[in-house]
Amino acid sequence: MDPPTGPSLGLYDYDLLVIGGGSGGLAVAKEAAGLRKKVLILDFLAPSPRGTERELGGSSFNMDSIRKFLQQATLLGKAVQDSQKYGWRFRHEVSHGWSDLVQAVQEQLKSASLELVRELKSCGVFYLRARGEIVAPHTVEVTDVNGRKRHLTAETLVVATGDRPQYLDIPGDREYCLTSEDLLSLPHPPARTLVVCGSAEGLECAGFLFSLGLQVTVMLLADLLQEFDLKMAEKIENYMFVGGVDFLHHCSLSKVEQTEGVMSVGDLTTAPQQVSKGRLQVTIISKDGQIKQDHFDTVLLAVGRKACTSDIGLECVRVQCSQDTGRILVNERDQTSVDHIYAIGSVQHGRPSTTGLSVHAGKLLARRLYGGDSILCDYTIVPTVVLTPLEYAACGLSEERANLIFGEDSIEVYHSYYWPLEWTLPARNKNSCYVKVICHIPDHERVVGLHVMGPNAGDILQGFVTAMKCGLTKQQLDATVGIHPGAAQVLTSLTQTQRMSEALMLRGNC
């Protein structure tokens, strides 16, 4: 919906102007419009460096959808393998069609984006596909897709520009490497792939590609899943390594070049055809300085994300950002160093970033601004999920963080492996799925961290998040009746602690 061009009845053209169409920005805009405020959203939707189109909803909303679709493709492939143990028979060989998946996902993303535009219109939110730059305290210069410029004013500004995948700034990275948002723009399977990461999105992409039968190598530039629990990260890596994913540790990527070679292309539904195409030669430097070269068909970078805060005029009005991350410094009210400018979502410095959290924070911000509420967003107990082939969900503190905050003697960790019933007939690995509950002993063993690794881990965890926000203790967890059959019941019957397990291992009993 184009914004009106006539004169404004008030001091400003809008009550609220949101720069960026991320999930948090959409949430604050819709909530504010519902409170009868005049609201405009600006989102330019610039393509990726490789030309991949972006859709309304921000990187988190759209990438979350892609992550789930890719994981589901992986799970369906595994289910097909398991199904024979459940009596299913197939008349023809089952195979995967890359182009079919790509087309279906892209159509779904475009459909979701159009639905968002319709939803904004029905809520009374004005939307412009345009770039916004703050040029004065209450004034934004708007540049549309044709380069036309004009100035609009608003009483309150919200920055929700989100973030974008980072590059390594090495020779050849932008010319020849993909990021996660480019993966499904490929017209053919990526064949032999090097995933450069340590992040959740890198492991998710690696797991997906490997599950399609492609050869995948993961190069870890830093510790795996740095913001997550260390032992859980190690278990994810071990699960993928045992499954056949190669890992490179303690090395770095210094150069990517294109060379003449042969690459297998075409859908996985047919025999791949060998065609002449430039392959990628990568130069790898080990920790001790040794140089190695290898060849891949695709190099996918998942080395972190950079906040989109550098070209929106923050410095013009002296909005303070972190010198290290470039992200915006905010207070407990999501307010920047400038009173009438707020920030929501992954542009905030030092806070967790998930789609669900951004939406929640956006709604609360609008209610504080226009609804008379005073409820602040709780950024401490935030659930998150890693959609690797074996899903991992977490809420609260990692074991390392809990030990650092409270001291090891004040922390008890209950844990257990479990075997989902649906895994027993196909005899899938019995010691893969795992849970652990981290408790603060002096506070009646209050649960401060909960970690689940197994099928549907995110859905299992969701209800326990509410309980944790209410001060869940181990005693209350033990008093909860588990649903049988079901995997979540393992959390209601934990008796083994890590101290007990370590003692048994020292005595050689396990």
For the chain, give me the number of helices (H) and strands (E)? Answer: 12, 22
Q: Give CA angle at 152 (150, 157), nearest 5°.
A: 135
- As a whole number of angstroms, the distance between CA 210 and CA 388 comes to 11
Q: Give CA angle at 230 (397, 348), nearest 5°.
A: 55
8 Å CB contact between 203 and 240: yes
SS3 164: strand
Residue type, 420: P
Q: Which tokens belong to 441? A: 């002993």
Helix (H) / strand (E) containing 113:
helix 98-123
**Residues 6 or more apart whose Cβ sits within 8 Å of residue 288:** none
| Residue 489 CA neighbour count, 13 Å, CB half | 9
Buried b (16+ CB within 10 A) or exposed e, 427-442: ebeeebbbbbbbbbee
- As a whole number of angstroms, the distance between CA 175 and CA 167 comes to 11
DSSP symbols for 382-409: --EEE-SSS-EEEEE--HHHHHHHH-GG
Helix (H) / strand (E) containing 151:
strand 149-159
| 484: annotated active-site residue | yes
Residue 491 neighbours by CB distance under 10 Å: 23
Residues in the chain: 510
- As a whole number of angstroms, the distance between CA 132 and CA 139 comes to 10
Among residues 138, 250, 340, 484, the one annotated as catalytic is 484
The dihedral sign for the CA sequence 124, 125, 129, 131: positive
Q: Which tokens belong to 95? A: 């195979």
Q: How far is C-alpha 29 from the chain's CA centre?
A: 23
**Residues 6 or more apart whose Cβ sits within 8 Å of residue 437:** 413, 414, 415, 447, 449, 450, 451, 474, 477, 491, 494
Residue type, 103: Q
- The most distant pair of C-alpha atoms in the chain lies apart, rounded to whole Å, by 81
Residue 121 dihedral angles phi and psi, to the nearest 5°: -65, -45
- As a whole number of angstroms, the distance between CA 52 and CA 258 comes to 20
Active site residues: 484
